[in-house]
């Protein structure tokens, strides 16, 4: 079990990590999700022991390891860049952590063979990394991390430099590769879709803070606040500011909307409504869907889906619809918000759960 | 803007290529229409960047000709071809202001000062950087820098084409949406000929009117995003486009009947006589319906990816992926049906036309 | 980037600390000690306060040496930096010639300084040296032991020959770090060769050139061996730079107090000018 207790990291006056507390269980996959400079790499360095926190402590199996250097911890790391020993063969690369640990020849051979087999590197063992494709180079780095059998495995955007399709393959394999080891996995990514495909737990990061930590799908569906919801949305979260009074939702633009049944218990006041692009549709999916008139600005068609960019009362929204839908630019259309999945945030950006709304 | 003809282009990086395998680009014969938005899509090493560099004039093809509006430009340098290019990593002139960055290509060509001012101001508005005109380019974010790189192409009203080499690689997901839709809007308003190289299917499909799918130095299919999705010409296209890609199941064909293992299903049309070694049925996960009727499957894993669920199942040991909407559940004792519209049949990996059902 | 945190690493610094202590700090303190005292031998010292400093700062001789020093440093910087950059620009960016060029460039740097002085001394001799004989044959009166201008010319030429390579190597490293895409983009923008230099190469070389200028400044400010071997500071005082003057004062005249005060002034000046350079050249360079 890895525990961060109120960890902060300040580098020359700038706060990179701001009061983070996290508990990661053995055998778990934990995604750190956030944009560039949100603090993912800084946090990983603190977990690894590459950096010492400015405040707070790091605990491993109920032992305070704050300040214990990385060599004395059981940590493996894989980076976005494909980092291998260029002069060694793939076999020697994979074997290197075992040789450092002083394993005997038979053990090395057996473990390298198993890792190479799992990562489809067996035919390339005699080559050097530079003779391999990017995907194979990263597989080599992953195999090295795997044979190390570290208790903490840190993967810092390991697939970012790979082709889309290679990413898909390796992403599907990763959980299988590491599943048996019982180690703690931490995986940093900027892409919400990647977090969802990986599953496990997700910690959303924004400006050095962990805004929420929990099972990935739960964080996605039930974000605690607006920052989390926006971090965890791709396409971007659609939002609109409203004021509830006299049984109506008033928008800044002067538009008025009826209050959907789910929100009838909400106290009067200012709120922010948020909803994912796929909860906006051309046809009502539920009886109390909210109908809104919007203007089309751009339509992107992938062949199976359409991303319709809409202007609504000064807000830029994206609607994700199945199938191919073509619209003229500037065309006014009616769209429906699925209020069952609508997220309501109070003036401070905290989400009001539907149960809370009822009680209020 | 110009029409670009690629006339039997072949390219090899080695000095004396003989066999087909020696060529990084085996044979490309294609026309990019004036004002079209094209994407070159394929895995790394498929030859897409080679092709782009041949168009921009950074590479001279080993064989073949390249024509801009009918004029042979094969021997011309990059500047003589009058193209613009946006690179993977944003290239800006650090020490110049945003304004000067945009004015740079015009000043180099000796455009009059008031004309420069007019065009730069116009372009700054187009790319949404008007407020930052006087700022030094050095301190800007990656997405703003990439806009400047694009702006330096847009500012030259006479460019033949704008070429993009994986321009969104270093951009955060949220900004990708903004930049992509802006690019789309610019194309619609000004009809530049644009060619966009990427390995990312979402970028290719959303950007282009026509997507050129490449693999191992060859064009596998050219089509609209819809065509590539509905009617992949080759199983590679089926695999490469779509996430997850198309399911490809080995089948035995007999007229309008296909046998998958021990199961039999009717095709929307009959195939002619099949002389192929290998026949397969392609069906995208989006067209696989999970219910209580059809062919029984074993569900191995269900991934909840938020807006939908990806069901990984198998039919007689053959893997099959299916997509289930967010609010639907996977039934116990699941069976699958294939939407007739989504069924394609392949002989030795190439698509066969299905005739009328007999 | 933040540094790896590990206490044991300090032990690796220990030898350097000891070395610096014996090599720099202890001698420096001795010098400071001398600079505020007067001795008449017998190891008897009397505290004199700032007397030596005042004497040095007021002396014509020091002013002369200082002026010559700044002129020399100014001239060699003006020649070596542009010349070094120019040579770096003409070097091939890739291919088999790269290593040949690099080795050729590194050669002058490998020659011991007194050998450089001796080499140029022989070369510049008016009767038998290639340079001296050649110039006189061409009708240009040249004699570096007699004419101050000839002496200056020779000292500057020697320094340029010896040290331009350093600027070349640094500038070349800076040029090599520029991604190919920048050159391609410049071609596409129709940039001239000069524009490419002015807006791409020069800004990207900024950092290494700062280092080159600093190194050359400090080094030339302390120059001793080569002019000592070549001209011995003459003719007259014409090539007597600060260090030569200092050694004359300390060893030639055994004016320990004066020499110590000069050393300290000299040290502070190098520090100050380096700091000014550095601040000026890295201004507005954050990120």
Quickly list DSSP for A82-133: ----TTS-HHHHHHHHHHHTT--HHHHHHHHHHHHHHTT-GGGTTS-GGGS-
Strands of the sheet with B288-291, listed across from one edge? B288-291, B335-338, B295-296
Confidence of residue C269 (pLDDT cuts 50, 70, 90): confident
How many Å apart are CA B256 and CA B234, to the nearest integer?
Answer: 20
Domain assignment present for residue C77? The answer is yes
Same domain, B175 and B197: yes
pLDDT of B215: 92
Q: Average pLDDT in the B326-355 region?
A: 89
A139: left (phi over 0), alpha (psi -120 to 50) or beta: alpha
Show residues of chain C in contact with A67, CB under 8 Å.
5
Show residues of chain B in contact with C191, CB under 8 Å.
104, 108
How many Å apart are CA A175 and CA B95, to the nearest integer?
Answer: 46
pLDDT of C77: 92
CB pairs under 8 A between A and C: 14
CATH number for the domain harbouring residue B268: 2.40.50.140
pLDDT of B311: 94
Domain assignment present for residue B158? The answer is yes
CATH number for the domain harbouring residue C129: 1.10.3720.10
How many Å apart are CA B268 and CA B265, to the nearest integer?
Answer: 10
Q: Average pLDDT in the C73-82 region?
A: 92
From A29, A28, A22, select the one nearest A43 (Cα to Cα). A22
Residue in chain B closest to A221 (alpha carbons) equals B306
Q: pLDDT (tens digit, 9 = 90+) per residue, A69-127? A: 888 888 999 998 888 998 899 999 999 999 888 888 999 999 999 889 888 889 999 99
**What residue numbers bound the domain in which C190 lies?**
19-286
How many Å apart are CA B55 and CA A36, to the nearest integer?
Answer: 33
Is residue B276's pLDDT more than 60? Answer: yes
Show residues of chain C in contact with B88, CB under 8 Å.
181
Q: Mean pLDDT over all residues of chain C?
A: 81
Residue in chain B closest to C286 (alpha carbons) equals B139
Confidence of residue C158 (pLDDT cuts 50, 70, 90): confident
What share of chain B has pLDDT > 70, as a percent?
99
The number of folded domains in chain B is 2
Using CB atoms within 10 A of its CB, is residue C27 exposed (0-12), middle (13-18) or buried (19+)? exposed
Domain assignment present for residue B215? The answer is yes
**What residue numbers bound the domain in which B337 lies?**
243-352
pLDDT of C43: 67
pLDDT of A281: 92
Four-point Cα dihedral C265, C267, C271, C273, nearest 10: 60
Query: Closest Cα of chain C to B167: distance in Å?
Result: 12
- Identify which of B89, B138, B139 has the shortest CB distance to residue C181: B89
Residues 191-210 of C with CB under 8 A from B: 191-192, 195, 199-200, 203-204
| pTM of the predicted protein model | 0.83
Instruction: Please say whether the beta carbons of A312 and A254 come within 8 A.
Output: no
**How is residue A174 written in tokens?**
């990763």
pLDDT of B224: 93
Alpha helices in C26-179 (DSSP H): 26-35, 51-58, 60-90, 97-110, 113-124, 130-137, 148-176
The per-residue DSSP string of B23-68 comes to -SEEEEEEEE-TT-EEEEE--TTSSHHHHHHHHHTSS--SEEEEEE
Same domain, B220 and B321: no
Confidence of residue C120 (pLDDT cuts 50, 70, 90): confident
Same domain, B161 and B224: yes
The number of folded domains in chain C is 1
Same domain, B117 and B96: yes
In our burial notation (b when 16+ CB lie closer than 10 A, e otherwise), range C52-85 reads: bbebbeeeeebeebbebbeebbebbbebbbeebb
Residues in contact with A183: Cβ distance below 8 Å, sequence separation at least 6, in sequence order: A26, A27, A149, A150, A151, A152, A153
Per the DSSP assignment, residues forming a β-bridge with A307 are A300, A320
For chain A, residues with pLDDT lower than 50 are 355-360
pLDDT of C153: 85
Confidence of residue C2 (pLDDT cuts 50, 70, 90): very low
Domain assignment present for residue C10? The answer is no
Domain assignment present for residue B260? The answer is yes
pLDDT of B22: 84
Show residues of chain A in contact with C4, CB under 8 Å.
50-51, 69-70
Q: Average pLDDT in the C182-191 region?
A: 88
Query: Closest Cα of chain A to B230: distance in Å?
Result: 8
Residue in chain A closest to B240 (alpha carbons) equals A165
Q: Average pLDDT in the C37-53 region?
A: 71
| Touching subunits for chain C (3+ Cβ pairs under 8 A) | A, B
Is residue B133's pLDDT more than 80? Answer: yes
Show residues of chain B in contact with A331, CB under 8 Å.
none
Same domain, B278 and B145: no
Show residues of chain C in contact with A79, CB under 8 Å.
none
Kindly determine whether residue A45 and residue C5, on different chains, have CB atoms separated by under 8 Å: no
Same domain, B85 and B229: yes
Q: pLDDT (tens digit, 9 = 90+) per residue, C243-257? A: 787 777 777 676 777
Choosing from B209, B235, B261, the residue where a domain stops is B235
pLDDT of A359: 39
Residue in chain C closest to A50 (alpha carbons) equals C4
Within 10 A of A182 (CB to CB), how many other CB atoms are there? 11
- Identify which of B202, B240, B245 has the shortest CB distance to residue A302: B202
Query: Closest Cα of chain B to A107: distance in Å?
Result: 33
Instruction: Please say whether the beta carbons of B232 and B344 come within 8 A.
Output: yes
Instruction: Please say whether the beta carbons of A308 and A299 come within 8 A.
Output: yes
Q: How many CA atoms lie within 13 A of C188 on its CB side?
A: 33
- Identify which of A197, A217, A236 has the shortest CB distance to residue B174: A236
How many Å apart are CA A156 and CA A138, to the nearest integer?
Answer: 12
Domain assignment present for residue C76? The answer is yes
Within 10 A of B317 (CB to CB), how many other CB atoms are there? 7
DSSP 8-state assignment for residue A341: G
Domain assignment present for residue B357? The answer is no
Within 10 A of B31 (CB to CB), how many other CB atoms are there? 12
Q: Average pLDDT in the B304-326 region?
A: 91
**How is residue B167 written in tokens?**
């321009």
Is residue C286's pLDDT more than 60? Answer: no
- Identify which of A35, A134, A300 has the shortest CB distance to residue B181: A300
Kindly determine whether residue B226 and residue A324, on different chains, have CB atoms separated by under 8 Å: yes
- Identify which of B174, B225, B305 has the shortest CB distance to residue A303: B225
pLDDT of C40: 65
Task: Compare A294 and B271 and report the one with higher pLDDT.
Answer: A294
Show residues of chain B in contact with C197, CB under 8 Å.
none
Question: A37 at the B interface (CB within 8 A)?
Answer: no
Query: Closest Cα of chain C to B98: distance in Å?
Result: 13
Find how far residue B72's CA is from the centre of its chain.
27
Confidence of residue B338 (pLDDT cuts 50, 70, 90): very high
Q: Computed from CA positions of residues A232, A236, A240, A241, in that sequence, does the dihedral angle turn out positive or negative?
A: positive
Kindly determine whether residue C189 and residue B139, on different chains, have CB atoms separated by under 8 Å: no
CA-atom Rg of chain C in angstroms: 23
How many Å apart are CA C198 and CA C185, to the nearest integer?
Answer: 15
Same domain, B124 and B147: yes
- Peptide bond between residue A209 and the one before it cis (omega within 30 degrees of 0): no
Q: pLDDT (tens digit, 9 = 90+) per residue, B230-255? A: 999 999 999 999 889 999 999 998 88
Choosing from B202, B235, B268, the residue where a domain stops is B235
Q: How many CA atoms lie within 13 A of C184 on its CB side?
A: 23
């Amino acid at each position: 079990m890895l525990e961060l207790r109120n960890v902060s990291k300040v580098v020359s006056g700038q706060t990179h990590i701001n009061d983070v507390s996290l508990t990661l269980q053995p055998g778990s996959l934990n995604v750190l999700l956030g944009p560039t400079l949100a603090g993912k790499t800084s946090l990983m360095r603190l977990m690894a022991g590459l950096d010492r926190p400015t405040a707070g402590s790091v605990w491993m199996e109920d032992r305070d390891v704050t300040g214990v250097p990385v060599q004395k911890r059981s940590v493996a790391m894989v980076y976005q860049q494909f980092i291998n020993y260029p002069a060694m063969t793939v076999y020697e690369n994979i074997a290197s952590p075992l040789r450092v640990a002083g394993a005997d020849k038979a053990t090395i051979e057996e473990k390298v063979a198993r890792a190479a087999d799992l990562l489809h590197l067996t035919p390339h063992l005699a080559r050097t990394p530079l003779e391999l494709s990017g995907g194979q180079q990263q597989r080599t780095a992953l195999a090295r991390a795997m044979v190390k059998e570290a208790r903490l495995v840190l993967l810092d955007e390991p697939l970012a430099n790979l082709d889309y399709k290679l990413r898909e393959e390796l992403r599907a394999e990763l959980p299988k590769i590491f599943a048996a080891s019982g180690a703690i996995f931490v995986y940093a990514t900027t892409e919400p879709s990647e977090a969802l495909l990986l599953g496990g737990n997700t910690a959303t990061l924004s400006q050095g803070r962990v805004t929420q930590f929990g099972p990935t799908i739960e964080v996605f569906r039930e974000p605690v606040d607006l920052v989390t919801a926006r971090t965890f949305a791709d396409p971007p979260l659609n939002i609109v500011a409203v004021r509830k009074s006299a049984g109506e939702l008033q928008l800044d633009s002067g538009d008025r909307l009826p209050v959907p049944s789910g929100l009838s218990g909400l106290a009067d006041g200012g709120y922010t409504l948020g909803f994912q692009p796929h909860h906006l549709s051309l046809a009502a999916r539920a009886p109390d869907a909210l109908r809104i008139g919007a203007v089309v600005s751009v339509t992107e068609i992938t062949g199976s889906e359409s991303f319709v960019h809409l202007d609504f009362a000064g807000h830029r929204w994206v609607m994700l619809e199945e199938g191919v839908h073509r619209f003229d630019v500037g065309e006014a259309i009616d769209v429906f918000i699925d209020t069952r999945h609508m997220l309501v945030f109070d003036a401070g950006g905290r989400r009001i759960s539907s149960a809370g709304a009822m009680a209020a | 803007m110009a029409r670009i003809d690629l006339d039997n282009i072949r390219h090899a990086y080695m000095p004396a290529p003989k066999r087909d395998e020696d060529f990084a680009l085996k044979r490309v014969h294609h026309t990019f229409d004036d004002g079209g938005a094209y994407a070159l899509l394929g895995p790394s090493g498929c030859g897409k960047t080679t092709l782009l560099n041949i168009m921009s004039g950074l590479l001279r093809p080993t064989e073949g000709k390249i024509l801009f509006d009918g004029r042979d430009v094969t021997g011309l340098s990059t500047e003589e071809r009058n193209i613009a290019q946006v690179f993977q990593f944003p290239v800006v002139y650090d020490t110049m202001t945003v304004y000067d960055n945009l004015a740079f290509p015009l000043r180099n060509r000796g455009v009059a000062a008031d004309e420069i001012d007019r065009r730069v101001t116009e372009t700054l508005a187009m790319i949404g950087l008007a407020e930052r005109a006087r700022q030094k380019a050095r301190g800007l974010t990656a997405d703003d820098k990439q806009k400047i790189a694009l702006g330096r192409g847009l500012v030259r009203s006479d460019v033949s084409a704008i070429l993009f080499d994986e321009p969104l690689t270093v951009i955060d997901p949220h900004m990708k949406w903004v930049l992509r839709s802006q690019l789309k809007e610019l194309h619609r308003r000004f009809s530049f000929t644009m060619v966009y190289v990427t390995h990312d299917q979402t970028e290719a499909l959303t950007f282009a009117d026509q997507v050129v799918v490449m693999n191992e130095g060859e064009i596998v299919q050219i089509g609209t995003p819809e065509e590539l999705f509905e009617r992949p010409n080759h199983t590679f296209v089926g695999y490469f486009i779509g996430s997850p890609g198309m399911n490809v199941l080995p089948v035995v064909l007999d007229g309008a009947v296909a046998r998958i293992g021990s199961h039999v299903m009717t095709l929307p049309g009959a195939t002619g006589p099949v002389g192929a070694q290998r026949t397969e049925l392609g069906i995208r996960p989006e067209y696989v319906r999970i219910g209580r009727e059809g062919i029984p499957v074993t569900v191995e894993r269900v991934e909840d990816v938020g807006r939908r669920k990806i069901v990984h199942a198998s039919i007689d040991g053959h893997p099959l992926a299916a997509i289930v909407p967010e609010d639907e559940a996977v039934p116990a004792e699941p069976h699958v049906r294939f939407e007739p519209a989504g069924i394609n049949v392949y002989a030795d990996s190439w698509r066969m036309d299905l005739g009328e059902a007999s | 980037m933040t540094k790896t945190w590990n206490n044991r690493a300090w032990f690796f610094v220990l030898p350097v600390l000891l070395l610096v202590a014996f090599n720099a700090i202890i001698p420096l303190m001795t010098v400071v000690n001398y600079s505020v005292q007067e001795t008449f031998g017998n190891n008897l010292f009397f505290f004199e306060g700032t007397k030596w400093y005042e004497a040095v700062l007021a002396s014509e001789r020091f002013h002369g040496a200082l002026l010559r020093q700044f002129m020399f440093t100014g001239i060699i910087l003006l020649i070596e930096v542009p010349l070094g950059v120019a040579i770096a620009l003409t070097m091939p960016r890739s291919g088999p010639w790269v290593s040949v060029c690099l080795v050729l460039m590194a050669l002058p740097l490998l020659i011991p300084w007194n050998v450089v002085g001796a080499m140029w001394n022989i070369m510049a001799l008016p009767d038998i040296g290639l340079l001296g004989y050649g110039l006189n044959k061409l009708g240009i009166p040249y004699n570096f032991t007699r004419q101050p201008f000839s002496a200056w010319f020779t000292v500057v030429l020697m320094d340029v020959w010896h040290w331009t390579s350093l600027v070349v190597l640094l500038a070349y490293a800076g040029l090599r770090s520029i991604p190919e895409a920048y050159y391609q983009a410049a071609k596409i923008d129709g940039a001239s060769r000069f524009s490419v230099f002015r807006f791409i190469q020069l800004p990207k070389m900024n950092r290494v050139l700062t280092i080159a200028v600093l190194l050359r400044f400090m080094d030339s400010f302390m120059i001793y061996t080569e002019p000592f071997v070549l001209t011995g500071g003459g003719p007259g005082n014409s090539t007597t730079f600060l260090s030569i003057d200092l050694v004359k004062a300390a060893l030639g005249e055994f004016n320990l107090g004066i020499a110590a005060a000069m050393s300290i002034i000299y040290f502070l000046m190098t520090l100050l000018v380096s700091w000014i350079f550095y601040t000026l050249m890295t201004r507005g360079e954050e990120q």
